[in-house]
Amino acid sequence: MGSDPAPGTPAVREHHVSPADPGRAAVGRPRTPGPVAAVPCLPAADVFAALAGGPHGLTPAEAAARQARYGANDLPAAVRGGLGRRLLAQFTDLFAVVLLVASAITFLAYLLGRPRDAATLELAVAILGVVLLNAGIGFAQEYSAERTAESLQAMVPHTCRVLRGGEPGELPARDLVPGDVVVLEAGDAVPADCRLVRAQEVAVNNAALTGESDAVARVADPVPAGAVLDARNCVFMGTDVVAGTAEAVVFATGTATEFGRIFRLTAAAPRQQTPLQRQVAAMARRVAGAALATGAVVFALRVPSGQPFVDTFVFALGVMVALVPEGLPATLSVSLAIGVRRMARRHALVKRLLAVEALGSTSVVCTDKTGTLTQAEMTVVRLWANGVPHPVTGVGYAPQGEVADAAPVRELLRAAALCGNARLVPPDGRDAWRVLGDTTEGALVVAARKAGLDPAAEEARTPRVAEYPFDSVRKLMSTVHRAADGTYVAYVKGAPLELLARCTAVGRDGAPVALTDAARTEVAAAADGMAGQGLRVLAVAARRVAGPRPPIGDVESELTLLGLAGMYDPPRPEVRDAVDACRRAGIRIVMVTGDHPLTAEAVARRVGIVRGPDPTVVTGGRLDALDDGGLDALLAGSAELLLCRVSPEHKMRVVTAFQRRGEVVAVTGDGANDAPALKHADIGVAMGASGTDVAREAAVMVLLDDSFASIATAVGLGRSVYRNIRKFLIYLFSHNIAELVPILAATLAGFPLVPITAVQVLAIDLGSDVLPALALGAEPAEPDVMDSPPRPRRERLFSAAVVGRILFLGGIQALGVCAVFFWHIHASGIPYADFTKDTPAYREAITLVQAGIVVSQFFNALAVRTDRQSVFRAGLLSNPWLLAAGGFGIALMAAVSYAPPLQAVFNTAPLTAADWAVLTGFGALLLAAEECRKRLLRRHPAAAKEGNR
């Protein structure tokens, strides 16, 4: 296999099709009837040569050479504007603009003032500093959030099935090169631009390229010349296979693909704010409005006092700046991002921040069975043929074990193994025996080998000539094979009820006999018996057909039943505890499965989803018979609900019905057809290990380990993120009250100066408050986080209880701060009117106010850590980051009080040990008052419930 076009392929030469420069070919494609335009016109057999490959794929050496030449099959990370532009954007948000205007006015006031007041200049510079600092923090947050998103994305590997050197295997999609032969099936994302050379009932969704979301059929036959995008025998990177199976040859990779071309032209989509972020932004806007209004009121109150106009104006401006909640949006994003990272560490990969909050209020989880509740490690443990059960020994995919009395079940196993695409991979030192492809089909291959059959030899003896792929609506799969005598035989396997309905005969001692009603009942009873033991049951049938590609209706009718296979799939050991946790958390679990009701119930009992004697078991057929009202009544009726033998369309209907009832629904899915339900649910959950690319694309959360337990963990983490956000909001907003009240009190009392200057307020807001707020955002989950029912969907972040707590804590802080200020002023014995900025008692008093807020915020941070539980029980030291952040704030305050350069900037004075003791006493009082409030809440559960919000 050379890397140049094979010599002597006129079609190729004529059309200049060569992988030598696939990039140029791809880019020029739509406009010129040039090189790649020829690929769709070639017969399938010539395509390999055209792309200098062969039907067995490239050799590994050739693939490596091509990769070196063409580069990796991926697209560069989206560029979201230049760094400079993004930094500039930080200065255009509302707070930044308000603060910039404030800084400019203050600077003007300094210039116009006679004499010029250095403190006014300081304030102008400080406000500007705040804007810069905030912009820096915001920029860094955004950058790290993007990096997080990118690294999370990289955790879900995008692999594809490739033939290399005649051997099928799995490869990272980025390793594909032109000329590679890929195997595609329903649910796969198309990894590169490819020409189909074999197609069975293939349909693709080209929405990503054309915006048209209807599935379109694809074939392997040549088509007349035209635009490549319209060629019905090509599939393109970024689109999805929604049905069928195919083999295709890659003709363009990476940026040379159609998708790459569009990708280069499209700017990245703007990031969306989550509802929570919107609520906080709205609240912050309201507070900023209130700050402006308060500034205006203070200004109006102080003008008549005879103070210089400019001083009064700067004072009012200081009040306003004090109240603007700088740093809040950044803290919120950090907290959500921490949640995302924690979830990723626990195998739940959240693609959008939005999901973090929705997760916290999840009230219903609709879960699959196989792989999510069970290990998806199928072992055929029982066969049934000829009216007799045949136990099978051995566990897992190692073909070691025995089939009891194998002779009568050989034909059953031969058909089952031939009618499937899974491949058994022997241990390679690292892994044990494993299955490439569908695990159900893999288990059948293993059973066939245990009965002494060699599936590869059987396939060679009776080669497959057609396939009718499995889909979860038909619940059947069929293949047609050419027998040694030139006749054709079809094998069909699938769900027993579906298959039995299409059988007219049953194999008895190697010969078909009519399937009487009695025989039908006997087969159904055998299937039910296996399903009742929690086994997944497949029926297998065969028939002679007239030609190599008969219509599907002919293949899947008048069949002869060969027997049944029952396979065991052990439950995941961790699921039981997770189910218990969900129960305690008031989350309803509904199993939604395509499997048999008895299998479903047995598994549900094993993992604890069903405990009562009479769960409600509803089949897809019955769901079809229900109108929306009936469905609503059904969902409202039973706590233990199992939906069986359903198709993905049913899943979608059930999700919508739950949402109608006001539930927040998480739904799992792995197949391509699950995409609508995954998109529609509040939390679409896809499987990282076993799911299809399409499902992973549609979901907002991907489970790296596929386990239900990870959903429960993620819900717990989602709840704690929400709680943490509430904690730091209470923490941040309560101290604003402690800053504002003394200013208003001084104004009303006629004191001529401010009890705390704007520069001091900024030092608190950005120096000592930001780190504890971040540490609160990173609080570990409280142990009772899964002990209460889900948060109502419409609950507001700033509920009455939250605002009440802000007023309670802020009120106590304000009282303490006012007390120390006025006490110190009065103790000096100086009349109000004689106070100037340089009066030592004034400098001491404002230092006391600033330190008072810092110290009480330290205790406040401890107080807000728990909602109801005593913080002493939670462990005062259990969040060391918080203690360190609080300690840092106090150290900063000490520096402001004792370091001469800072004293000059802040107009502060050294505090005495007694001052610190008094302030600590006030802080301890705040903690004690909050402990009393929590105790009351614990004693009165009704109030506690409200207090929890």
Here the tokens at position 926 are: 């705040």
Q: Of 46, 240, 368, 569, which one is the catalytic site residue?
A: 368
* Residues in 722-751 that interact with ligand ATP by CB under 6 A: none
Here the tokens at position 31 are: 């406009």
The residue from 370, 707, 724, 850 that contacts ligand ATP (CB under 6 A) is: 370
Q: What is the dihedral of CA 194, 197, 201, 207, to 10 degrees?
A: 10
Stretch that binds ligand ATP, among 211-219, 542-550, 593-601, 777-785 (CB under 6 A): 593-601
Q: Considering the complex, state which of residue 593 and residue 619 has its C-beta at the smaller distance from ligand ATP.
A: 593
Q: Considering the complex, state which of residue 672 and residue 855 has its C-beta at the smaller distance from ligand ATP.
A: 672
Cβ 578 to ligand ATP, closest distance in Å?
Answer: 17
Q: Considering the complex, state which of residue 44 and residue 643 has its C-beta at the smaller distance from ligand ATP.
A: 643
**Binding to ligand ATP by residue 321, rule CB under 6 A?**
no
Q: Please state whether 534 falls in left (phi above 0), alpha (psi between -120 and 50) or beta.
A: left
* Residues in 218-277 that interact with ligand ATP by CB under 6 A: none
DSSP 457-519: HHHHHS-EEEEEEEETTTTEEEEEEE-TTS-EEEEEEE-HHHHHTTEEEEEETTEEEE--HHH
CA distance 267 to 638: 49
- Ramachandran angles phi, psi of 54, nearest 5°: -160, 165
**Binding to ligand ATP by residue 538, rule CB under 6 A?**
yes
Number of residues that bind ligand ATP (CB under 6 A): 19
Cβ 675 to ligand ATP, closest distance in Å?
Answer: 14
CA distance 494 to 514: 20
Cβ 58 to ligand ATP, closest distance in Å?
Answer: 29
Where are the alpha helices (H) located in 535-574, listed in sequence order? 552-555
Cβ 493 to ligand ATP, closest distance in Å?
Answer: 5
Here the tokens at position 426 are: 């022997």
Q: Considering the complex, state which of residue 44 and residue 642 has its C-beta at the smaller distance from ligand ATP.
A: 642
Cβ 644 to ligand ATP, closest distance in Å?
Answer: 9
**Binding to ligand ATP by residue 641, rule CB under 6 A?**
no
Cβ 684 to ligand ATP, closest distance in Å?
Answer: 16
Q: Considering the complex, state which of residue 86 and residue 605 has its C-beta at the smaller distance from ligand ATP.
A: 605
**Binding to ligand ATP by residue 495, rule CB under 6 A?**
yes
Stretch that binds ligand ATP, among 43-51, 331-339, 487-495, 678-686 (CB under 6 A): 487-495
Here the tokens at position 303 are: 């003008």
Cβ 281 to ligand ATP, closest distance in Å?
Answer: 41
The residue from 351, 536, 650, 653 that contacts ligand ATP (CB under 6 A) is: 536
CB-side exposure of 817: number of CA atoms within 13 Å? 33
Is-contact 506 560, C-beta < 8 A?
A: yes
**Binding to ligand ATP by residue 860, rule CB under 6 A?**
no
**Binding to ligand ATP by residue 382, rule CB under 6 A?**
no
CA neighbor of 583 nearest in space, from 348, 364, 347:
364
Stretch that binds ligand ATP, among 38-46, 200-208, 354-362, 363-371 (CB under 6 A): 363-371
Cβ 478 to ligand ATP, closest distance in Å?
Answer: 9
Cβ 530 to ligand ATP, closest distance in Å?
Answer: 11
**Binding to ligand ATP by residue 472, rule CB under 6 A?**
yes
Say which amino acid occupies 165.
G
CA distance 193 to 250: 6
Q: Considering the complex, state which of residue 232 and residue 449 has its C-beta at the smaller distance from ligand ATP.
A: 449
Cβ 330 to ligand ATP, closest distance in Å?
Answer: 42
The answer to whether residue 368 is catalytic is yes
**Binding to ligand ATP by residue 475, rule CB under 6 A?**
yes
Stretch that binds ligand ATP, among 587-595, 614-622, 686-694, 901-909 (CB under 6 A): 587-595
**Binding to ligand ATP by residue 593, rule CB under 6 A?**
yes
> What is the sign of the dihedral through the CA atoms of 373, 377, 378 and 379?
negative
CA distance 591 to 641: 7
CA distance 414 to 417: 5
* Other CB atoms within 10 A of residue 584 CB: 12
The residue from 193, 201, 377, 595 that contacts ligand ATP (CB under 6 A) is: 595
Cβ 196 to ligand ATP, closest distance in Å?
Answer: 22
> What is the sign of the dihedral through the CA atoms of 192, 194, 200 and 204?
positive
The residue from 247, 258, 441, 467 that contacts ligand ATP (CB under 6 A) is: 441
The residue from 494, 563, 688, 742 that contacts ligand ATP (CB under 6 A) is: 494
- Whose CB is nearest to ligand ATP? 594
**Binding to ligand ATP by residue 528, rule CB under 6 A?**
no
**Binding to ligand ATP by residue 326, rule CB under 6 A?**
no
- Within 8 A by CB and 6+ apart from 881, the residues are 774, 775, 778
* Other CB atoms within 10 A of residue 547 CB: 11
Here the tokens at position 15 are: 């059309």
CA neighbor of 505 nearest in space, from 562, 446, 583:
562
Q: Considering the complex, state which of residue 253 and residue 472 has its C-beta at the smaller distance from ligand ATP.
A: 472
Query: Pattern 399-438, binding to ligand ATP, x per CB under 6 A?
Result: ---------------------------------------x
Stretch that binds ligand ATP, among 272-280, 489-497, 838-846, 864-872 (CB under 6 A): 489-497
Query: Three-state SS across 747-764?
Result: HHHCCCCCCCCHHHHHHH
Is-contact 188 235, C-beta < 8 A?
A: no
The residue from 74, 122, 247, 368 that contacts ligand ATP (CB under 6 A) is: 368
| DSSP run (H or E) holding 357 | helix 353-360
Is-contact 319 757, C-beta < 8 A?
A: no
Burial class for 877, CB neighbours closer than 10 Å (0-12, 13-18, 19+): exposed
The residue from 362, 440, 707, 734 that contacts ligand ATP (CB under 6 A) is: 440
Stretch that binds ligand ATP, among 62-70, 255-263, 453-461, 467-475 (CB under 6 A): 467-475
Contacts 24+ apart (CB under 8 A), 915-919: 915/844, 915/848, 915/851, 916/851, 916/855, 918/820, 919/816, 919/820, 919/848, 919/851, 919/852, 919/855, 919/856
**Binding to ligand ATP by residue 477, rule CB under 6 A?**
yes
Cβ 415 to ligand ATP, closest distance in Å?
Answer: 12
Stretch that binds ligand ATP, among 101-109, 347-355, 468-476, 933-941 (CB under 6 A): 468-476
Q: Site residues (CB under 6 A) for ligand ATP?
A: 368-370, 438, 440-441, 470, 472, 475, 477, 493-495, 536, 538, 593-596
Catalytic residues: 368
